[in-house]
Every structure is written in structure tokens, then in C-alpha cells.
Structure 1
Amino acid sequence: MSRRALTLLVAGFLALTLALISAVLPVPYVVLSPGPTENTIGDVKGKPVISISGHQTYPTEGKLSLVTVAYQGGPDNRLDLLTALRGWVDPTVAVVPEEAIFPKTSTLKEVEEQNTQEMTDSQQSATAAALNALKIPIQKAVSVAETDKGQPADGKLKPGDEITAVDGTPVAELESVAAAVQKHKPGEPVRFTVKRGTASTDVTITTARSDEGKALVGVRMQSAYKFPFKVDISVGQVGGPSAGLMFSLGIYDKLTPGGITGGKSVAGTGTIDPNGNVGPIGGIEQKMVGARSAGATIFLTPSGNCADAVRAVPKGLRLVKVETLEGAVKAMDALRTGSGDVPACPAS
């Protein structure tokens, strides 16, 4: 073999070796793909997704499916370059920087805990939105989400505590608790009455000084609700807030006579607040693909996601623009009866 041929052979071998090594090198990206769908008015493993007790319910029909996004990769299970490259050429998936899903300021455990908390909050807001839409009275409350480490409330107030009064004055709003604490000067004691489990107890905390010179106890609070009957939502390992709209519609459907889908297979997504306002979400492209693959023909789309949705909507899936729970119910009525306007995402 000539020297030139040998040189070319060695160079080719080295190039191939480097290419193979590069293909299996871990890269800081995450692949997002269509995840499973769950019918909120159906069952998962023989158990209803939404169970209501203590109030009359009605039969439902069709599907009101929540949609999810699955991910591959992450700090503890990095993608190889070849997998990332395959994702870049697949129109049904998205390849995003790892820190878009797993911020460098948070651990994997913290991200998972946040997703779980967001799902819990979403279920509370969805129930409140459905009951508010049906004019069913609910009571508001304030609960402890967490305390700041090293601050006065640390170890004295616990996650899940319901704050019922401050200095003997009943409270039911976040603003009321904050205002009551701010009446004190730094270094003064403030007395919280909390319901912990079934017991009520008083907890006195000496305030610290904030950076602005105001009284501080270091507690993070969240709104909670007391519903007049029991609503349980069970979807397994799904996390995040984006199923709120579909939970609300499922609860609304079960509490009203006559199915709102007209037997159609409807999927959708969107966050929701207790007043019924629907917010945008991430992964709309993958969620539409998952919905269509599961047989949905109608997709309830937050108005804030319409621009992205119209550019990637799968064939056979009708986009219905949604801004509020009330609007979603009206759109479903129009689809079922064939009369009335059905808001659509405008073409870009």
C-alpha cells in the first residue's frame, strides 16, 4: 500500500472514530415529544379522573381530554448528540436547551416538586373556576406554601397550615395577612392562629426587618378554597398547571345535565385561575400531535397560543380559541347544537 493510500485510510478511520464518539457524547438539550392524553370525564386504570361526592352529578359522553408533553434528557440523563440530531429533523418533536426545562438555579428534585405543586394548585383553581361558573358558593382561605429558611417563621409555621387569623382578626385573603403583619414594627411579635390538621393553635413569631425596613416573618402563602362538597382529581404522574382548563370543563360537565361534548372527542390545554381566565402554555405543537393521535377532532386552544398553533395544527384537528371557561362552555354548546359562533384561531 502506498504512503498516500495509508494516510487516507488512517485519516478516514480517525474521522469515523471522532464521528462515532461525537454521536454518543452527552449534550445539554432536552427532546420534547407528544405525551399521553387522559379523558377528564373518563377513567384511568378503572378509577374516575374526576370524582365528585356530596353533590348531584350527571352522565357524560364523548371525551374532554387533557394533553401532555413527554421529555427525554435532563441533568441526570443527558441526551447523546445523535438523539438530539434526530429530534431536530422530526417535525413532531422539539429540541430545547436543558436549562429551559431544568433551570440551573434549581435541582431536579426542586423542579419535580414545583411541577407537583403546580398540578395541585391547578386542580384547586379548576374546581373553584367550575363552581364559580355554576354560581355555587365557595369559601376562600389562606394556607402556608413554605417558609424561608433562617427567617422567623421557619420551623414555626408549616406547609399546609391554614392561617385563620392574625392578632385575633379573622383573615381569608393573602392581602389581609400581609397587611396585618405590616402593621407591626420589625422586632415586634405577631400572633398567627392556624388550623393544622383538625386542631387550631396560636403561633407567636417575632418579626425581622426586611431590606425595605418593614416587618418580615418569611412565609410564602397561597390561596386555598373550602368547597361545599368533595371533588377529587387523579391523573397519576402528570405535573404542571396546563391541564386546568380541561379539569374545569370536566367538573362543569359532571355537575350539569346533558353532556357538553355532544359525543365528540375534544382535547385542549390551558392554565386557569379561580375566575375562569385561561392562560397560555408551553409545548402546544407536541400537545396537538398527541391529541390528534388519540382521535381528537377539536382542540381548545388558549388565545395566547393561537399564533403557534395555526402554524403546526395537524390535519383533521379544528382549533377553537378559548379565553375563559365561560367562553369554552359557549363554544362547546355551539359545536354541539350547530348554532352560534365558534371562536377560531386566526390564520397567521
Structure 2
Amino acid sequence: MSWFSSLSIRARALIVGSTLSVALVGVGATVPVPYVALGPGVTYDTLSRVGGTPVISFSGDAPASVKQTDGTGHLNMTTVSVYDDMPLFGLLGMWMSGDYAVVPRAEVYPPDKTVDQVNQQNTKDFQDSQSAAEIAALRYLKYPNVVYVGTIAQDSPSYKVLEPQDQITAVDGAKVTDFASLQAALKNTLPGQTVEVTVLRGSRSVDAKVKLQANSSAGKQGFLGIGAVERPKAPFTISISLANIGGPSAGLMFTLGILDKLTPGGLTAGRFIAGTGTMEVDDTKGTVGEIGGILLKMIAAKNAGASVFLVPAGNCAEALTRVPQGLELVRVATLDDAVKALKTLGAGGTPPSC
């Protein structure tokens, strides 16, 4: 008879139960589960330097006001951190702290995409937010518009003739400065007609011959076959330098950072202001789009020292469910709302809240 079978039933039950408990504890402490933890992420001041490099910088013929910011305020973008490959007990510990959320892993890393693919998309979204910020800021400051070549389909008459990011300056000698002037230049053309499209490609002027096609949506006139993009242009280049950040939600704070540096005296009046929100440039209003993780970003802002947090209007209801003590929420639906709110704060007033 083995030593185990010689034990009492109670002793055997105790040993089996203890063994199972140890095994379960080992599994809970070491084996990853299909969930991730989301927590307050890093926050960067768009007016400062990171690693010695300005987050926002200018080159070319930038206005003198670029150097006239007060140097004491903050306009911080906020992020959410993702903790993957976490064991059950680690997730539970984070969740119980109250500063983290636990969600199914598939919500962050869809099963039809690899982690690298998700990260690549997040990086692209972040780069797009930088471009949107530049467009929105220059549009707000009323810099003149120009027309660029956007998308070009493979069956387009402009395919391999024009290039994305070409700036269209003329069609058959008629000056092009915006959508209206481009449409006017093409109004009396016909399908099959060849026109000379003058573009600025980098710093070089190029004359390209395009044989126009017919298109039912264009009516009787000739069709270039491009997705034309109208956006403002300044005599200087804006650079935004931040690495290892993903997603589109920094658009608003990047836009405000650019405006602060281009506005004599700045916008912060020395306050520590943080916020979030996408910047939509498909309309002229500069709509601030809602984002995910608003509560976690508010915690990150408060931990960094912010006293004011700019909240997209679409996130206000959620933001009010848990407001960090001492953090003033400001509701913004458009870029104009955000600028007016900062000016109101600077004058000692109270801007619209959630």
C-alpha cells in the first residue's frame, strides 16, 4: 500500500486541494490570459523638448512670433499605455488599483491582424494627426490655400504622369490656387483633350501632359482623375518630432502647440493645460473628434501636473464619471472653441465645462 492510500480521507483531500491550489496560483501568476490592461500613458508637452529636440519646430521663413511664447505654460498631449501578455493575477491587481481598465485583447489587437500590423496602423494614424494639426493651424491663421494631388487611381489619365503631393499651380497656363480655380481651368475642356498641368514637385516646377478622360460625375468636361486636396501653405516648414507614439488623438494638442508658437505671447498664460482629441480637417470648422481612454488620459494629465484638461465634446459624458480632484474640464467641439477657452482662462474667466 502506497503512503498516499494509507492516509486518512481528510489528509488526502487536504493534499489534493493544496496541490491544485498551488497549481492554480502558479497558472494565475505566470500564464498570460487573453486580456490586456490599459493605463495612464506618457504625456508630452508640445511646447517643450524631448531628448533635446523641440517637439514642434519651424524651418524656412518662419515669423518672428515663433520665439515669443512665454516659456512657462504647458500644452500636453496624453496617451494610454497597453500592457499585453499579462497573467491573471497581474491584471486583477491593476484593475483593483482603480487606475487601469481590463479589456479583451481582441479589442486592441484584432485576431485578423498581427501586433506589427496594429502598431504600423497606429503609427500612420499618429503621422496623419501631425499633418492634420499643421493644416488646421495654418487654416485657422488664414494662410492661403493651394491645391495638391492626392490619390491617383491606376486607371486614371494622371497615373504615372502626376505624383501624390504635387502642388498644382496651373492648367494650360491658367493659374490654380484653390478648388474653384482648378474647376474653372477645366470647365471648357473635353474628354480626349491633352492639357498641360504645371506642378511644383518639391522645389522643382514640372510641366506634365495629361490626356483627359470622360467621367459621368464631371459632366461634359475633361477629367484629370485625381483626388485633389486643398490645404493652406506657409513660407516655412513645420516639423513635429515624437517617436514611439501611436494613434490619432494628439491632433488637437499638436494644433494648439503650433498656434501657441505662432501667436505672440502664446496661448497658455503660464498654465499647465493638457488635453486630447482628433483634429478633423475635412470641414473648415476644425472639428475636435472624440477618442478612447478619456478617463485614463485625465489621470495621466493630473499625475503630470495639469490643472486644466481639454475634453472633446463627444467624450464629456464619460469624462464626468470620474474627474480627478483639482482637474478642471473644458468642453471643446472645434478648434475655435479650444482657442477661445484658452483665451478665457488667460483672462481669468471660466470657459464652458462638460
TM > 0.5 fold call: yes
C-alpha distance in structure 1 between counterparts of 2:267 and 2:108, whole Å? 35
> Of residues 80, 85, 95 in structure 1, which corresponds to 2:87?
80
- RMSD (CA atoms): 3.7
Query: In the alignment, what sits opposite 1:143?
Result: 150
Query: In the alignment, what sits opposite 1:306?
Result: 316
> How many angstroms does 1:20 deviate by?
1.8
Query: In the alignment, what sits opposite 2:81?
Result: 70
Q: Please tell me whether Structure 1 or Structure 2 has the larger radius of gyration of its CA atoms.
A: 2
Query: In the alignment, what sits opposite 1:260?
Result: 267
> Of residues 231, 235, 250 in structure 1, which corresponds to 2:257?
250
In the alignment, structure 1 residue 92 sits paired with structure 2 residue 103? no
**What's the secondary structure of 2:64's corresponding residue?**
coil
User: Which stretch of the first structure deviates more once superposed, 116-125 or 302-311?
Assistant: 116-125
Describe the shift of the 1:160–1:327 C-alpha distance in structure 2 as closer, same or farther (beyond 3 A). Answer: same
Structure 1, unaligned runs of 5 or more: 208-217
C-alpha distance in structure 2 between counterparts of 1:192 and 1:71, whole Å? 51
> Of residues 322, 327, 330 in structure 1, which corresponds to 2:337?
327
C-alpha distance in structure 1 between counterparts of 2:210 and 2:119, whole Å? 33
> Of residues 39, 42, 65 in structure 1, which corresponds to 2:45?
39
Residue identity opposite 1:343 in structure 2:
P
Query: In the alignment, what sits opposite 2:135?
Result: 128
| Residues 117-137 of structure 1 deviation map (CA, whole Å, 9 limit, x = unaligned) | 211211111111112222222
Tell me if structure 2 keeps the 8 A contact 1:141–1:225. no
Residue identity opposite 2:256 in structure 1:
L
> How many angstroms does 1:261 deviate by?
1.2
Query: In the alignment, what sits opposite 1:108?
Result: 115
The within-5 A match list for 1:169-184 is none
Query: In the alignment, what sits opposite 2:351?
Result: 342
The within-5 A match list for 1:12-51 is 12-51=18-57
**What's the secondary structure of 2:320's corresponding residue?**
helix
Tell me if structure 1 keeps the 8 A contact 2:143–2:233. no
Kindly tell me the number of residue pairs found equivalent between the two proteins. 318
Query: In the alignment, what sits opposite 1:215?
Result: none
> How many angstroms does 1:171 deviate by?
10
Tell me if structure 2 keeps the 8 A contact 1:156–1:203. no
**What's the secondary structure of 1:26's corresponding residue?**
coil
Describe the shift of the 1:134–1:196 C-alpha distance in structure 2 as closer, same or farther (beyond 3 A). Answer: closer
C-alpha distance in structure 2 between counterparts of 1:223 and 1:84, whole Å? 47
Describe the shift of the 1:222–1:135 C-alpha distance in structure 2 as closer, same or farther (beyond 3 A). Answer: closer
Query: In the alignment, what sits opposite 2:328?
Result: 318
Percentage of pairs with the same residue = 40
C-alpha distance in structure 1 between counterparts of 2:107 and 2:226, whole Å? 28
Tell me if structure 2 keeps the 8 A contact 1:139–1:227. no
C-alpha distance in structure 2 between counterparts of 1:118 and 1:139, whole Å? 24
The within-5 A match list for 1:165-244 is 200=206, 226-244=233-251
Tell me if structure 1 keeps the 8 A contact 2:161–2:208. no
C-alpha distance in structure 2 between counterparts of 1:3 and 1:222, whole Å? 83
Query: In the alignment, what sits opposite 1:6?
Result: 12
Tell me if structure 2 keeps the 8 A contact 1:141–1:172. no
Residue identity opposite 2:143 in structure 1:
I
> How many angstroms does 1:260 deviate by?
1.6
> How many angstroms does 1:248 deviate by?
0.9
Structure 2, unaligned runs of 5 or more: 1-5, 214-224
Residue identity opposite 2:44 in structure 1:
E
